Amino acid sequence: MPAAIVAEGLSKRYRIGELQASYGTLRESITRGVKHLAGREHYHHRQEIWALDDVSFAVDEGEVLGVIGRNGAGKSTLLRVLTRITSPTRGRAEIRGRVGSLLEVGTGFHPELTGRENIYLNGSILGMKRREIRGRLDEIVEFSGIETFLDTPVKRYSSGMYVRLAFSVAAHLEPQILLVDEVLAVGDAEFQRRCLGRMEDFSLSGRTVLFVSHNMQAITQLCDRAILLEGGRVALDGPSQRVVARYLQEHAGTGSERSWPELADAPGDAQVRLRSVRVVDEDGDVVESADIRQPVGIELAFSVLTEGPPIVPKVKLVDEQGQVAFNAIDTDARWHEPTAPGDYTATAWIPGNLLSEGLTLVDVAIVELGTVRFHHHAGVAEAVSFHVQDPGEGDSARGLFLGQWKGVVRPLLSWDTERD
């Protein structure tokens, strides 16, 4: 399959001055020039940053590539370079096919013009021919649901109507390659769901999409592959679940595995010491990302040094917002007795269809349980983390719904429905 987008060593340099004071007055420039000539001031605005630094990747035709990264990592700059809004300082890129770009919805909307006039204006700015717009006008209007206000100036629209109209023009673009930025960040949940649905239609029709977003759920659902940008460089390029998981873990400062090779440094006390904690799949391999439908294991390895009061391994799962999903201990009778000295590995299996999507942080501990209180022998907060992702294939709790789905847990319930 031919590549639709090939980027080779794309780099973009900004002078800090250009970023900070986006424009100056002639006077400032002149006084700066004079001071410079007089040797009184150095060009401190000459400081440079590389917003993009040697970025290379390829996107195959029909592929949906996600681009993630923190603010300032270079995502927007990459998109601006690929859409030819600004040119790179070094490197090159080749784009094969008719390109449509959406850096915001409603680019160029004019408040004095009517809804109908703005459809023509916006469509034309986004690269549609007038003939195409005329042909799709009815669909655009119907999709937006603003028929009644079509001949009202958009300055009298509510912000919701405005966004709906703007989005429905964008949704009727038919480029072969679509470059999209954070468009989904605006609007309500219903609107975001429609955006996602439209993007999915678009990718199913075999067109190429490059999608920049902070919405990790959208990235894992829509994209086969993702790249992670850090400081203008490609830090990771791979399957979107893995890249998203890595990004979230880095953000949280934890990984999927942690070990303490030196017993003396390991968390614990004279009775028990933790040796390692790992997030594993059913094959026992360490994973960063787990399919919501599959079980995932938290594996604790620990050494019991002396036989003391009865102890038991415990895990606590916390979501990204810090809400506790649940605590769990092993209730097996063996833990009612003192544990003999030796090395142990205990794995807590979290069934599929239990956790919600997103990053899950795991606190682990070896505790001594009374009836109403317990005592930590060895405990590590946020020892490991993993990302739960839902491919949205219809057999998970969210069915085919792609929008926001709240809840700390997301069990797949069995429903009985009878007709009375």
Partner 1 sequence: MTETELHEPSARPGAAPPAEEVAGPAPVFVIRPAARWPHLDISELWHYRELLGTFVWRDVVVRYKQTFLGVAWALLVPVFTAVIYVVIFGRFAKFPSGNLPYPILVFSGLLPMQYFTSALTGSSTSLIQNINLVTKVYFPRVLLPLSAAMVPIVDFVLGLSVLLVMMFWYETWPNGLALLLAPAFIGLAFVTALGIGFFLSAVNVRYRDVPYVIPVFMSVLPFVSGVPYAVAEIPEHWQWILSLNPMTSVISGWRWAVLGANAPVPGQVAVGVAVAVVLFLGGLAFFRSSEPRFADTI
Which stretch in 89-97, 261-269, 293-301, 338-346 sits in contact with partner 1 by CB under 8 A? 89-97
Q: Is 99 in the site for partner 1 (CB under 8 A)?
A: yes
In terms of CB distance, is 177 or 266 closer to partner 1? 177
Please tell me the count of residues contacting partner 1 according to CB under 8 A. 58
Please state the closest distance from residue 232 (CB atom) to partner 1, in A.
Answer: 15
Q: Is 329 in the site for partner 1 (CB under 8 A)?
A: no
**Residue whose entry in the numeric block shows the structure tokens 């440079």:** 48
Please state the closest distance from residue 95 (CB atom) to partner 1, in A.
Answer: 5
Contact (CB, 8 A) for 221 and 392: yes
Q: Is 82 in the site for partner 1 (CB under 8 A)?
A: yes
Q: Is 113 in the site for partner 1 (CB under 8 A)?
A: yes
Please state the closest distance from residue 47 (CB atom) to partner 1, in A.
Answer: 15
Residue 33 CB partners (closer than 8 Å, separation 6+): none
What contacts 24+ positions apart, CB below 8 Å, involve 79-84?
79/103, 79/179, 79/181, 79/210, 79/212, 81/10, 81/12, 81/52, 82/5, 82/7, 82/179, 82/210, 83/179
Which stretch in 101-109, 327-335, 377-385, 403-411 sits in contact with partner 1 by CB under 8 A? 101-109
Beta bridge partners of 316: 327, 363
Q: Report which of 193, 228, 207 is spatially closest to residue 98, judged by C-alpha positions.
A: 207
Cα dihedral sign, 206-211-215-220 = positive
Q: Can you tell me which of 54, 117, 230, 395 binds partner 1, judged by CB under 8 A? A: 117
Q: Report which of 26, 81, 31 is spatially closest to residue 55, judged by C-alpha positions.
A: 81
- Please tell me the distance from the alpha carbon of residue 199 to that of residue 403, in angstroms, as a whole number: 13
Q: Can you tell me which of 35, 36, 84, 134 binds partner 1, judged by CB under 8 A? A: 84
Residues near partner 1 (CB under 8 A): 10, 14, 18, 22-27, 29, 80-99, 101, 103-104, 107-108, 110, 112-113, 117, 120-121, 124-126, 129-130, 136, 139, 153, 172, 174, 176, 201-202, 204-207
